[in-house]
Amino acid sequence: MNYDCIIIGGGPAGLNAALVLGRARRNVILIDSNEPRNHVVRESHGFLTRDGIQPAKFRQLALEELGAYPSIQVKPEKALSIERISETNYEVTTESSNVYKSTKILLATGLKDEQPNVPGIERFYGTSLFSCPYCDGWEVRDQPLAVIADKNVYKLAKEVFTWSRDLIVFTNGEGRLELHERERLETRGIKVAEDILSGLEGANGQLERVRLEDGTLIDRSYGFVTPLWSHPNHFAEILGCKLNGYGGIQTDEYGRTNVWNVYAAGDAANIVPAQLIVAAGSGSAAAIGINGDLTNELFDQTN
């Protein structure tokens, strides 16, 4: 069977795209290995009517809704390769050696995070250390917060200041703050520690103290970090998709990339802001673009 669209990735972008295309009566297959970027997070926020939902519950509800549309198939598999086999057809091979063909491809593969180089940071990430203040800032408002970052330090510190004035910035020895940036932070009462961090202390995922290389302990209850991110696969590169200034897949407002019949949505394209509702919205927009292009191509055919 040749599908109208293969969606690679079952996060909010891919799921919402499948929903919109299914409602447009398109034959869609969604391939997803269920390895979400937010798997360590207990709650997701900022999504109207779903504020505070557990990521696994969000996915469960989405899959239940997709099940109402017979033209949508969901395959719990990992896509291994993608190949253009003709002017208008692509072929995706999965880890299970299944091969699927379609006219359109939607890359909704998300991103993969790598935390700052601080011993033990993974024990707290998703519980008391977070990456998005818009997602988790409200829950830690007015608490003693840490910003642990070796890039985009100034930007993150300014954002976090909205939620708490009790803020210390840790650059982990990288020294990425310009002099004028440091001065502006300190003018607002934000302390800056440029020492290398030797570890984090706490129990059961709850941060209690940040330990500097010289052994100094600084009390902090929660914090925000700037993880390094990468694409989880090379599909965009293999297909020849251009990247935007942030390193995401470059698209127009309807998810179209520079490669004909290839679209992208969600964190893989947006990069920032990385919120469920933003990703879901971009998936919807891409689905509208895909459906519109399929419709126009049908009517533009010459017999």
Per-residue pLDDT of the chain (303 residues; tens, 9 = 90+): 899 999 999 999 999 999 999 999 999 999 998 887 666 677 888 888 888 888 889 999 999 999 999 999 999 999 999 999 987 899 999 999 999 999 999 999 988 878 888 999 999 998 999 988 998 999 999 999 999 987 789 999 999 999 999 999 999 987 678 899 999 999 999 999 999 999 999 999 999 999 999 999 999 999 999 877 788 889 999 999 999 888 899 999 999 999 999 999 999 998 776 788 999 999 999 999 999 999 999 898 765
CATH code of the domain made up of 114-225: 3.50.50.60
d(CA 160, CA 134): 9
**Segments making up each domain of the chain, as ranges:** 2-111+231-300, 114-225
Q: Is 165 helix (H, G, I), strand (E, B) or coil?
A: coil
Query: Quick check: do 2-111+231-300 and 114-225 share a fold?
Result: yes
Sheet-wide strand order for 167-170 = 129-130, 222-225, 145-148, 167-170, 191-193
pLDDT at residue 302 in the model: 63
Could you give the CA distance from residue 218 to residue 209 in angstroms, rounded to a whole number? 5
Buried b (16+ CB within 10 A) or exposed e, 231-241: bbbebbeebeb
Amino acid 270: pLDDT? 82
Tokens of 28: 């869609």
What pTM does this model have?
A: 0.90
How far is Cα 222 from Cα 178, in angstroms, rounded to an integer?
A: 25
Listed in sequence order, the residues at least 6 apart from 208 whose beta carbon sits closer than 8 Å to its beta carbon are 201, 202, 219, 220, 221
Q: One-letter amino acid identity for 284?
A: S
Return the half-sphere exposure (C-beta side, CA atoms, 13 A cut-off) of residue 18: 33
The predicted pLDDT at position 303 comes to 58
Coil vs helix vs strand at 244: coil
Other CB atoms within a 10 A radius of the CB of residue 68 amount to 10
Quick one: 2-111+231-300 is in which CATH superfamily? FAD/NAD(P)-binding domain (3.50.50.60)
